[in-house]
Amino acid sequence: MSDSKDLLLELGTEELPPKALKGLAQSFCNGVAEGLDKAGLTYDKIKTYATPRRLAVLVKKLATTQPDKAIERRGPALQAAFDDEGCPTKAAIGFAGSCGVTVEELSRLETDKGAWLAYTIEEKGKAAEELIPAIFQTALDKLPIPKRMHWADLDAMFVRPVHWAVILFGEQVIQADILSVTSANKTRGHRFHHPQVITLDSAADYETVLEQQGRVIADFDKRRQIIHQQIMDIAVLAEGTAVVDPELLDEVTSMIEWPKAIIGDFEPHFLEVPPEALISAMKKHQKYFHLVDKDNKLMPNFITISNIESSDPKQIKEGNERVIRPRLSDASFFWNQDKKQPLEIQLERLKTVVFQNKLGTVYDKTQRVRELAGSIAKLLNTSSSHARRAAQLAKCDLMTEMVNEFSDLQGIMGRYYALNDGEDRAVAITLDEQYMPRFAGDQTPASATGQVLSIAERIDTLMGIFALGQIPSGDKDPFALRRAALGLLRTVIENKLVLDIPQLLAESAGLFPAEIKAEDAVEPVYQFMLDRLKGYFADQGISTDVFDAVVTIRPAQPYDFAQRIETVNQFKKLDAAESLAAANKRITNILKKIKTDLPAQINNELLKEKAEKNLAQQLTEVIDKISPLLAQAAYTEALTELSTLREVVDTFFDDVMVMVDDEALKNNRIALLNQLHSQFMQIADLSLLQV
């Protein structure tokens, strides 16, 4: 028997949920790896496979046995194991008996904490084949499946009916009961190309045999790449460019075992409908990829991925064309019907849609957002009338036929309908931009009015839901408040908007009914947003201590917060950083000890030592320089000026005793340190830096 062999584990099922397949496959692989590691079974590498009908892993060069383990048993302490005459006590004799040896055969374990009798047992490692079935089963049990079900009259529960299982260790079949089926070395190929059972001679043959004999490309990434290349190639033949959504590509890959790209057409007159509606119909309902021409305009074509290589692909093409035509006809009908009446007429219907029971209808929310948007627009010196008008129309498209059918088009269709109604272009664009950023990495609104409405909408939601006490916890966030807060912060920071968030939260609170007591939510919402900022900056590589140095002074403006973060992050790299951070820590510790109000004014006549005179003089000069810089939020320049105090600060602490018996002298030196500390604290608390 060799020291290692390849291991194949495969579970064959009915078609697994496409959107969950990648996650299930990775989780299964992680579970198997964890089980092998826990069992002490070494291996070279592990590879995962996933198709609609199977989850599998191939473990290369898996050890055939566990290593032997030395298990040390600790007995009684030596002082309890022997009496004064050195004879073994009952405790020692009993321990030796439990180990199956005599007292003389026991060893002694000596540590800093004492000495004990001990016995080392050599535990023989188990054969891998004994452990593998349990590892397989445990990995399946840990899969992230929200709801497992019984199928037919089987005892086992799984997300889909299970039809076969493979456990093949090298060329050895390991039989076990896995989810109510008996494992073997028999897998199955493509449902149509090769529905017959395939016997696997060895684990290493798995991928090759499935592809060549079973017409199944088991490797998810390989299959995904093949599909992507086929899409690109066939688009070139149509003289267009395929737009490949990565999420759609993953989903299609999860539905296909033997891909074949086929291009289809639809009538050009459908292009009169907004392209987003046609694309949504193709992607959402049919999982098609769309094409654009050299001007980035939608073409009357689509690409579908067939799961069979047909001898007559024309039939598949025509079949898909028949299927998509009614979908596009529906989109065309909705577009023409919705245009028959102005968007504004839908406003009244929003009174029938509940946003949240205690917060009222979507209409009520619209009125609050309109008032807040008008105020924010004034603060940003942009059109208040545009902001209020956009807020008034913002949710009207939710009542249209098109958005009722294609919910992902909300905002997008609002823009089209507003333009059709002759609304100002700035207002129409805002109806789309209010939802930006829609997802992580998405762009923020480009227009000023779009930024205003995006911010106002998110503030209203955060304040309302927090006021009701429905704060996100764990993975529960039904109103997507974390995403709302981060989107708001990104919009403010990335567009360099000067906005006082606590002030806006307080203004928003005043727009809710008095019984909601929304004013109590201002501080919790602000803290919630600061918590989101920590993650935002961490994603940009900002260390925790830099964030803590800034968050301690709780800047009210997110863009100002970001400027301070950048300044402190750059300061941390300077030669003076370590010395000044240490000085700030020392000053902070001294000031903390003062129980009364800190003295603020420096009496120059009480400055006795040369070091304190020099510090006071240079501090006065630096304050004069940084005052205008701080007024302009030029924090980098201000901190650079403060950094010039490094030498006089170091000398002060070397030569001057602060906590002297002379009360007046002590208070004057504390006042000097307090003034120095307050200058740094106008930017950040440098005492928190780890340098």
User: Tens digit of pLDDT for each residue in 39-97?
Assistant: 999 999 999 999 999 999 999 999 999 888 878 888 888 888 888 888 889 888 898 88
Residue 576 pLDDT level (bands cut at 50, 70, 90) = confident
Encode pLDDT of 141-170 as tens digits.
999 988 888 887 777 889 999 999 999 999
Closest among 52, 62, 64, 48 to 207, alpha carbons compared: 48
- Using the 8-state DSSP alphabet, how is residue 473 labeled? B
Answer whether residue 358 shows pLDDT above 50: yes
Least confident residue range of 422-426, 436-440, 487-491, 592-596: 592-596
Percent of the chain with pLDDT over 70: 99
Taking the C-alpha atoms of 359, 363, 367 and 368 in order, what is their torsion angle to the nearest 10 degrees? 20
Residue 628 pLDDT level (bands cut at 50, 70, 90) = very high
Show the beta-strand stretches assigned E in 276-379.
289-292, 298-306, 354-356, 360-361
Alpha carbon of residue 75 to chain centroid: 50
pLDDT for residue 671:
87
Mean pLDDT of 324-348: 96
Least confident residue range of 55-69, 117-131, 242-256, 284-298: 117-131
Closest among 423, 306, 441, 503 to 314, alpha carbons compared: 306
Alpha carbon of residue 28 to chain centroid: 21
3-state helix, strand, coil split of the chain in percent (to 5) is 55, 15, 30
Structural domains of the chain, ranges and CATH numbers in brackets: 4-66+127-212 (3.30.70), 69-123 (no CATH), 220-338 (no CATH), 345-541 (1.10.3210), 576-688 (1.10.730.10)
Spatial distance between the Cα atoms of 381 and 496, rounded to a whole number of angstroms: 14
CB half-sphere exposure, 295, CA atoms < 13 A: 3
pLDDT for residue 440:
86
Task: State the residue for tokens 């809710």.
Answer: 512
Answer whether residue 536 shows pLDDT above 60: yes
Percent of the chain with pLDDT over 90: 73
Residue 658 pLDDT level (bands cut at 50, 70, 90) = confident
Encode pLDDT of 503-535 as tens digits.
999 999 999 999 999 999 999 999 999 999 999
pLDDT for residue 583:
84
Encode pLDDT of 223-236 as tens digits.
999 999 999 999 99
Answer whether residue 589 shows pLDDT above 70: yes
Mean pLDDT of 401-417: 96
What rounded mean pLDDT belongs to the chain? 93
Q: Where are the alpha helices (DSSP H) in 269-312?
A: 275-280, 286
Answer whether residue 288 shows pLDDT above 50: yes
Length of the chain: 691
Task: Look up residue 131 and give its amino acid.
Answer: L
Q: Where are the alpha helices (DSSP H) in 238-312?
A: 246-253, 275-280, 286
Query: Pairing mode, if any, of strands 114-123 and 107-111?
Result: antiparallel
Spatial distance between the Cα atoms of 279 and 289, rounded to a whole number of angstroms: 8
Answer whether residue 2 shows pLDDT above 70: no
Spatial distance between the Cα atoms of 458 and 438, rounded to a whole number of angstroms: 12
Least confident residue range of 398-402, 410-414, 609-613: 609-613
Mean pLDDT of 183-211: 95
pLDDT for residue 514:
92
Answer whether residue 121 shows pLDDT above 90: no
Answer whether residue 178 shows pLDDT above 90: yes
Encode pLDDT of 485-509 as tens digits.
999 999 999 999 999 999 999 999 9
Mean pLDDT of 246-259: 96
The secondary structure of 591-645, three-state, reads HHCCCCCCCCCCCHHHCCCHHHHHHHHHHHHHHHHHHHHHHCCCHHHHHHHHHCC
Taking the C-alpha atoms of 318, 319, 320 and 321 in order, what is their torsion angle to the nearest 10 degrees? 50
Answer whether residue 1 shows pLDDT above 50: no
**Residues in a beta bridge with 360:** 356
Q: Residues 171, 182: contact at Cβ < 8 Å?
A: no
More confident residue, 119 or 220: 220
Q: What is the pTM of this model?
A: 0.81
pLDDT for residue 112:
82
Q: What are phi and psi of 126, to 5 degrees?
A: -80, 155
pLDDT for residue 422:
96
Cα–Cα distance list, 420 to 298, 417, 580, 663, 668 (Å): 20, 5, 62, 78, 72
Residue 203 pLDDT level (bands cut at 50, 70, 90) = very high
